[in-house]
Amino acid sequence: MAAFTYAPAIVLLPFVSFLVALFAGDRMPKGGALAGITATGGSLLLSIWVALTVAGGDVHNEILYQWTTSVETLQLNFGLLLDPLSALMLLIVCLISFLVHIFSLGYMNDEGETGLPRYYAGLGLFTASMLGFVVANNLLMAFMFFELVGLCSYLLIGFWFRDDGPPSAAKKAFLVTRFGDYFFLIGVVGIFATFGTGLFAPITQGGEVVAESFPMLAEHAIVDGETAGIAMLETVGMGPQQWFTVLGLLVLGGVVGKSAQFPLHTWLPDAMEGPTPVSALIHAATMVAAGVYLVARMYGFYALSPTALAVIALIGGFTALFAATMGLVKQEIKQVLAYSTISQYGYMMLALGSGGYIAAVFHLTTHAVFKALLFLGAGSVIIAMHHNENMWDMGGLKDRMPVTYWTFLAGSLALAGIVPFAGFWSKDEVLYEALIHGFGTEGGLGTAYLIAYAMGLLAVFFTGFYTFRMVYLTFHGDARSDTARDPEPVRWNVKGPLTVLGILATTIGFINMAPVAKLTGAEIDFLHKWLNGPENGGWPAALNTGLHHYEGLLHDVSHVVKGYPLGETPTLLASAGVSLGLALAGVLVARTLYAGADPVEHTDKLGGLKTLLMHNYYQDEYQVWLATGVTYPLARVMNKFDQGVVDGVVNGISSVSLFGGSRIRRIQSGVVSNYATLLTLGLVLLLAAFGIMGGWF
Amino acid sequence: MIPAETYLLLSAAIFCIGLFGILTRRNALIFLMSVELMLNAANINLVAFSLQHGNLTGQVFSLFTMALAAAEVAIGIGIILVLYRNFTDVDVTKATTMRW
Amino acid sequence: MWVAALLLVTLLGTGLVFLSPDRYAGKLAAAISAVPALGSIYMYWVYLTQYGGTGNALLSPADIAFGQQLPWITLGELEVSYYVGLDGISMPLLALTTVLTTLAIVSAWTPIDERQSQFYGLMLFMEVSLIGVFSALDFFLWFVFWEGVLIPMYLLIGIWGGPRRKYAAIKFFVYTNVASLIMFAGLFALVFSTDLTSLSLPAMAEAFRTASGLPTIAGMNLMTISFIMMFFGFAVKVPVFPLHTWLPDAHVEAPTPVSVMLAGVLLKMGTYALLRFNFTMLADTARQLAVPLAIIGVVSVIYGAMLALAQRDLKRIVAYSSISSMGYVILGLVAFTPYGMGGATFQMIAHGLISGLMFMCVGVIYNTTHTRMVGDMSGLADRMPWTVGIFVAAAFGYMGLPLMAGFAGEYFIFQGSFNAPTLGGAAPVLTSLAMFGIVIVAGYLLWAMQRTLFGAFSLETDYEVSPAAFHDVAPLAVLLLLVIALGVAPDLSFAMIQDSISPVLEIGGGA
């Protein structure tokens, strides 16, 4: 397919823009922005072409470049896997990146920032790395680009390196995600050692499988008992399912780090120190999505392990609730959005864990759009407010910046999950899947799903509340500061991306209105069809990455079963009704408390709980304590040990030699007679010794 | 023929006298003389064994040693002269500057 | 002939530089050292394109590339010859040595301002010895070069070093010399218990492999005793815990270009010798002792990294992290798998480039600020953007950023040791523990960068900070490009390494 021939250019174009911006950015107009816009625009067009080709039923899985060829038993490669999932993700990343580049013209160039080539180079490298991660056809390549994405995040969070906050936040972001990536790396190495391949999907030539994928090998091992070729099982002394669960959980470490799930979520709120367009691109729409995308990418592997599924669902549900509560009391607009991001990724994890593959991808898509919109909207507000982010200094911006207000409102409604905005459809599907699988599945897994569902449901209320608390404080009421009374106007390059995203946030939910489809029988669950593919044959049969295959695995291996406590349709309606009701309740409470002309800080009534929430449950404190209160003192003690004991022994040996020398040298008295005496004595002793040994006596 | 043991006894006696001189006397010249005694003790040994075995190598060796002793005396007396110039004495226990 | 030409040109250059006036010494030395550098790059290219499939120099002498053997002396029954040659293991190390020497000499132009002709002369003399170490195939010749490296190093640290240079230089010299003695004793115990007629390394490999009926001392086979003594001797050079304490002192006191050579090449002598002697000649013993050796490697990784965390001196940080990085090499070697051993050799090259780069970066910063202490400076990114940019890139390379050489080396080692047959059930556990090094290394490097490079500009010392001169930054850029090239296409070295490693894997316990 021609589109697939040019697909590598999707990744390479932004990389070229990185080089151009880095080395020639300061000689170009707009500091390299145009290179970035051209490159991401080009990538976007190519992605659309790829998506259209994939829609025609073609998929692509090919090795492009052999990283190492010399070890025949295990070759490490770079390759492209273009199937509906990656084509969708390519579209999302290219679109958001393109819009963020345009928005940056308003946020960075128009604000007279210095160091723009560095900024645009960072954006270009980030886009290239993220796209490389998306198209990766094996786990090692995914890991490599995953790490590069982390590097770009470091560079961009720390963009304003002259201040103290951003470098510190950048360090924290890289370190915390690195901690997760440590487990991921063990997982990667383990999977390669176990299966001898890291392919996500089998490579076929003329219908014949020439290289099998690791999820398929794992499936054969568990389902068909083909464990003969897997030497690793003997090394670790575990059964296949047990060991694959361990591997899956290790990879999950990286996911938890990058997707900011509990307990490695602490870096994300700090990452808001970076420029706002970066927050929109990296810390909301794309990089954070990498973790969730990875789970979806190797879903065929996770579907084999009920334990891993339960862990994913519980982490997701807990994070959704946990982060939402912290978002309740924040004062900076970007902080609220940061915690909502963590919370929303919790939902995606909840969906993946509870067998809602479509729901997770759906929520990933809608969230990318509405969260990018909200961040860019916040960026617009921040421009207007001269970089004051405190919502208590805002108010009344509704009339002064209508485009921002209406688009931000669309994004907020989507985030809160109000019908018919995008978030409603996806979040409802997430919760619905968790609910029915929770009721249907036997044993601990079902219980885990129900607990996770309950936490997710409760978080819906909080989401509605903090979202509209933010909207009311920012845009409604009276202006509470001089800058809010006379905000700086924003130009087309800010309004344009906001409008595009605003329209999408309103409408993108229509790609998969599963409840409506079920009720009316109309075939409008397009995303479902997109990811499911043809029922027989076609790409799902070749790649085994289709929904149908995953559902089979969930049902047969992990025994995830659907159950309807009230019958199918009433359950569907009840689930949607409950979550919508809770969301509306949250919005109404926020309206009651904060919609007035001059709102007051009601959260003070929470007392000690507020302090706890403001301090984020002391999560940061304990992690900082782990670093500076445990690890660093331990290092100091080890340093003392090294200097004192290890080096002490070395110096001790030299001291003993020196001391011994200084004593023995006293034989060298300078008196010739003494030397003669010693000589004589030595001779006599030697003679005596020889005599005794020779038996002369 | 006088047995070899007699020569060896004589040699040992002379050697011990030389050794005794080195260990007890302080005058550098006496030192030198004692060394000569010890060398000559070795010479007696060499000649005695040469006679015993009927092999001339030992006698050649003793001649060689005598030449060596002559050279040694020349250097030794030179050293003693320098010693005297530096310390105004030929007492070997006084010249102890070459120590640790 | 090629190796002899390299040795000869560099040796003649050494004399020439010693005699040249100080003003021209630096430029002259750079020009002279460029000759072996270009020569070895040409040899590398010839090797890469023409010697595909060349085996191990010790195990299949017929396959030796650029080989040359001339009779030299006879010691009793032992024949000693001038015997040099290269294979896929020594070729990259030779190229690393010559290239790094040239770059180190260029980077010395700014900091070295007294006794220049002697400094550069000694640098070139060290290069001669290092070329010899990596190309000699006769033990006697090899040992002469091996010890020959110590002399210029001792003088370079002792004359041009920092305040405690004498202590550091003597410590370095005595420590490594004692280690050499023990190694020598261990090796010769074996030489005398087998009926060797030649001291050439291939002959020794053959004799040790087929040796039987060796005496037993205190319940241990002589082979095991010799292995331990030789491991001890070489491990000091690597260095591994607990034999490492000379390294931080030597690095801190040595002038930067010397640190570059010390970290970049001298440490690799230890692992190179381990690979040649312990792991090729005594492969069976190495397999038996794999688990304890791997534990030593893992402890070095974690211990070095933790100590780096406690340091304030940038050079000490890099020095301790070298201990950590070299620990990976030990882990890879004991694995006896293609990725393990090949990765360990690759890591020698990668670490040589990256640690050299790190030391040069620290040196460039020191040249302008005259301090290396974290906390004495901040916000340097404001004043020297390109230097800091390369510093950041180098630091990420050290942390194992993918598509840079460090990641490739470390990943290969992990991949090779995770299911290593020699380590059995301990393999995944030990590998996972060693991997934790990548988290700690990120911790201390990020911390140091945040404190020194970012934030508002401030400096404790009274020096004007301005961007570094072109000839200071150029070596950094060259090294960075090499690091990236090897990270993107590891097969540039890994393929030839693999060709020479696979015969090692086949002997003894099988592949």
B14 within domain boundaries: yes
Amino acid at A169: A
Chain A, nearest residue to B25 by Cα: A673
Q: Quick one: pLDDT at residue A210?
A: 86
Provide the mean pLDDT of chain C.
Answer: 90
Decide if C201 contacts C276 (C-beta within 8 A). Answer: yes
Residue C136 sits at φ, ψ, to 5 deg, of -70, 140
Decide if A250 contacts A186 (C-beta within 8 A). Answer: yes
What tens digit of pLDDT does each residue of C488-509 get? 999 999 988 998 888 888 875 5
Per 3-state DSSP, chain C is made up of helix, strand and coil in percentages (nearest 5) of: 70, 5, 20
What tens digit of pLDDT does each residue of A269-280 get? 888 888 999 988
Instruction: Give A-chain residues touching C495 at CB under 8 angstroms.
Output: 68-70
Q: Of A86, A106, A137, which residue sits at a domain end?
A: A137
For range A180-203, the mean pLDDT: 92
Q: Quick one: pLDDT at residue A441?
A: 86
A68 within domain boundaries: yes
Report yes or no for ipTM above 0.90: yes
Q: Which of A147-151, C176-180, C191-195 has the lowest mean pLDDT?
A: C191-195
A5 within domain boundaries: yes
Residue from the list B22, B26, B98 with its beta carbon closest to the beta carbon of A670: B98
A196 vs A204: CA distance, rounded Å:
17
B32 within domain boundaries: yes
| Residue indicated by tokens 């070329």 | C131
DSSP B29-75: HHHHHHHHHHHHHHHHHHHHHHHHHT-THHHHHHHHHHHHHHHHHHH
For range A157-177, the mean pLDDT: 90
What tens digit of pLDDT does each residue of A571-589 get? 888 888 999 999 999 999 8
C308 vs C322: CA distance, rounded Å:
9
Residue from the list A144, A632, A642 with its beta carbon closest to the beta carbon of C403: A144
The 8-class DSSP code of residue A488 comes to P
| Residue indicated by tokens 């002279």 | C32
List the structure tokens of C364: 């460039």
Chain B, nearest residue to A677 by Cα: B23
- The answer for residues whose C-beta is within 8 angstroms of residue A203's C-beta and 6 or more apart is A61, A62, A63, A79, A137, A209, A210, A211
Inform me whether the pLDDT recorded for A610 exceeds 90.
no
Q: Quick one: pLDDT at residue A444?
A: 84
Angle at C347 between CA C346 and CA C350, to 5 degrees: 90
Q: Of A121, A137, A153, which residue sits at a domain end?
A: A137
What tens digit of pLDDT does each residue of C126-162 get? 999 999 999 999 999 999 999 999 999 999 999 998 8
Q: Which chains sit next to A, with 3 or more Cβ pairs under 8 A?
A: B, C
B99 within domain boundaries: no
Decide if A404 contacts A490 (C-beta within 8 A). Answer: yes
List the structure tokens of B22: 């080195």
Local confidence band at C113 (pLDDT 50, 70, 90 cut-offs): confident
Decide if C236 contacts C243 (C-beta within 8 A). Answer: yes
Instruction: Give A-chain residues touching B19 at CB under 8 angstroms.
Output: 680
Pairing between β-strand A208-211 and β-strand C220-221 as defined by DSSP bridges: unpaired
B94 within domain boundaries: no
List the structure tokens of C56: 């191990």
**Total structural domains in chain B?**
1
Q: At how many degrees (to 10) do helices C22-50 and C2-19 cross?
A: 170
User: Could you give the C-alpha distances from B48 to A141, B17, B56, B64, B65, in angstroms and in order?
Assistant: 93, 19, 11, 16, 15
3-state secondary structure A344-391: HHHHHHHHHHCCCHHHHHHHHHHHHHHHHHHHHHHHHHHHHCCCCCEH
| Residue indicated by tokens 């929109």 | A280
B96 vs B98: CA distance, rounded Å:
6
- The alpha carbon of residue C193 is apart from the nearest alpha carbon of chain A, in Å, by 27
Domain boundaries, chain C: 290-511
What tens digit of pLDDT does each residue of C75-100 get? 778 888 999 999 889 999 999 999 99
Pairing between β-strand C216-217 and β-strand C78-86 as defined by DSSP bridges: unpaired
For range C31-52, the mean pLDDT: 89
Local confidence band at A390 (pLDDT 50, 70, 90 cut-offs): confident
CB of A673 less than 8 A from some CB of B: yes
For range C457-475, the mean pLDDT: 85
Pairing between β-strand C216-217 and β-strand A203-205 as defined by DSSP bridges: unpaired
Inform me whether the pLDDT recorded for C510 exceeds 60.
no
Decide if C329 contacts C271 (C-beta within 8 A). Answer: yes
Q: Quick one: pLDDT at residue A308?
A: 92
Which of C182, C414, C440, C492 best tests the A interface by mutation, with the highest count of A CBs <10 A? Answer: C414
A positions 607-666 inside 8 Å of B (CB): 665-666
Local confidence band at C53 (pLDDT 50, 70, 90 cut-offs): low
Q: Which helix (H) or strand (E) holds C441?
A: helix C437-452
Query: Which stretches of A426-503 are assigned E, i.e. beta strand?
Result: none
Pairing between β-strand C220-221 and β-strand C216-217 as defined by DSSP bridges: antiparallel
A202 vs A214: CA distance, rounded Å:
8
Q: Quick one: pLDDT at residue C52?
A: 62
Residue from the list B23, B95, B99 with its beta carbon closest to the beta carbon of A676: B23
Instruction: Give A-chain residues touching C310 at CB under 8 angstroms.
Output: 632, 635-636, 638-639
What tens digit of pLDDT does each residue of A528-545 get? 888 888 877 788 888 888
Inform me whether the pLDDT recorded for B1 exceeds 80.
no
A172 vs A158: CA distance, rounded Å:
10
The 8-class DSSP code of residue A138 comes to B
Residue from the list B95, B98, B100 with its beta carbon closest to the beta carbon of A666: B100
Q: Which helix (H) or strand (E) holds A426?
A: helix A422-440
* Count of A-B CB contacts under 8 Å: 28
- Beta partners for residue A512, in sequence order: A525
Local confidence band at C511 (pLDDT 50, 70, 90 cut-offs): very low
Range of the domain at B81: 4-87
Closest alpha carbon to C343 in C473, C447, C493, C201: C493
B positions 70-99 inside 8 Å of A (CB): 92-93, 95-99
List the structure tokens of A185: 């790396």
Instruction: Give A-chain residues touching C169 at CB under 8 angstroms.
Output: none
Provide the mean pLDDT of chain A.
Answer: 88
CB of A671 less than 8 A from some CB of B: yes
For range A166-190, the mean pLDDT: 92
CB of A682 less than 8 A from some CB of B: no
Decide if C395 contacts C449 (C-beta within 8 A). Answer: yes
Inform me whether the pLDDT recorded for C74 exceeds 90.
no
A361 within domain boundaries: no
Instruction: Give B-chain residues touching A672 at CB under 8 angstroms.
Output: 31, 92-93, 95
CB of B100 less than 8 A from some CB of A: yes
Q: At how many degrees (to 10) do helices A165-195 and C437-452 cross?
A: 160
Inform me whether the pLDDT recorded for C171 exceeds 60.
yes
CB of A168 less than 8 A from some CB of C: yes
Class of residue C282 by CB neighbours under 10 A (exposed 0-12, middle 13-18, buried 19+): buried
Share of chain C above pLDDT 90, in %: 62
Inform me whether the pLDDT recorded for C291 exceeds 70.
yes
Asked if A162's CB is within 8 angstroms of C456's CB, the reply is yes
Asked if A631's CB is within 8 angstroms of C443's CB, the reply is yes
Share of chain A above pLDDT 90, in %: 36
- The alpha carbon of residue B97 is apart from the nearest alpha carbon of chain A, in Å, by 6
Q: Contacts for C385-392 with beta carbons within 8 Å, 24 or more apart? A: C385/C467, C386/C467, C386/C468, C386/C473, C387/C361, C387/C467, C387/C468, C387/C472, C387/C473, C387/C476, C388/C453, C390/C357, C390/C361, C390/C473, C390/C476, C390/C477, C390/C480, C391/C361, C391/C365, C391/C449, C391/C453, C392/A155, C392/C449, C392/C453
Q: Quick one: pLDDT at residue A139?
A: 92
What tens digit of pLDDT does each residue of A300-353 get? 999 999 999 999 999 999 999 999 988 888 888 889 999 999 999 999 999 999
Range of the domain at A640: 621-693
Asked if A680's CB is within 8 angstroms of B19's CB, the reply is yes
Residue from the list A669, A673, A680 with its beta carbon closest to the beta carbon of B99: A669
Q: Which of A449-458, A508-517, A583-592, C171-180 has the lowest mean pLDDT?
A: A508-517
C259 vs C257: CA distance, rounded Å:
5
- The answer for residues whose C-beta is within 8 angstroms of residue C481's C-beta and 6 or more apart is none
Which of A665, A669, A672 best tests the B interface by mutation, with the highest count of B CBs <10 A? Answer: A672
- The alpha carbon of residue B54 is apart from the nearest alpha carbon of chain A, in Å, by 27
Local confidence band at A476 (pLDDT 50, 70, 90 cut-offs): confident
Inform me whether the pLDDT recorded for A147 exceeds 50.
yes
Q: Quick one: pLDDT at residue C104?
A: 94
**Cα-only R_g, chain A:** 31
What tens digit of pLDDT does each residue of A620-666 get? 888 888 888 888 899 899 999 988 898 899 899 989 999 999 998 88
Share of chain B above pLDDT 70, in %: 99
Instruction: Give A-chain residues touching C408 at CB under 8 angstroms.
Output: 67
Closest alpha carbon to C413 in C314, C325, C354: C325
Local confidence band at C51 (pLDDT 50, 70, 90 cut-offs): confident
Angle at A258 between CA A188 and CA C318, to 5 degrees: 75
| Distance separating the N- and C-terminal Cα atoms of chain B | 54
Pairing between β-strand C377-378 and β-strand C458-459 as defined by DSSP bridges: antiparallel
A218 vs C253: CA distance, rounded Å:
54
Amino acid at A529: K
| Residue indicated by tokens 């397919």 | A1
Angle at C244 between CA C241 and CA C248, to 5 degrees: 135
Residue from the list B23, B95, B97 with its beta carbon closest to the beta carbon of A677: B23
B56 vs A390: CA distance, rounded Å:
116
CB of B30 less than 8 A from some CB of A: no
Local confidence band at B100 (pLDDT 50, 70, 90 cut-offs): low
Asked if A67's CB is within 8 angstroms of C490's CB, the reply is yes
- The alpha carbon of residue C439 is apart from the nearest alpha carbon of chain A, in Å, by 6
Q: Of A87, A122, A137, which residue sits at a domain end?
A: A137
B/e letters for C33-59, b = 16+ CB within 10 Å, e = fewer, are: bbbbbebbeebbeebbeebeebbbbbb
Instruction: Give C-chain residues touching A638 at CB under 8 angstroms.
Output: 303, 306-307, 310
C353 vs C99: CA distance, rounded Å:
10
Residue ranges in A508-600 assigned as alpha helix (H): 514-520, 526-532, 538-543, 547-556, 568-594
Decide if A495 contacts A408 (C-beta within 8 A). Answer: no
**Total structural domains in chain A?**
2
Asked if A673's CB is within 8 angstroms of B99's CB, the reply is no
C236 vs C36: CA distance, rounded Å:
28
The CATH number that applies at residue B66 is 1.10.287.3510
Q: Which chains sit next to C, with 3 or more Cβ pairs under 8 A?
A: A
For range A236-256, the mean pLDDT: 90
Residue with the bigger pLDDT between A488 and C143: it is C143
Q: Quick one: pLDDT at residue A481?
A: 83
B100 within domain boundaries: no
C130 vs C265: CA distance, rounded Å:
8
A238 vs A252: CA distance, rounded Å:
19
Decide if C335 contacts C416 (C-beta within 8 A). Answer: yes
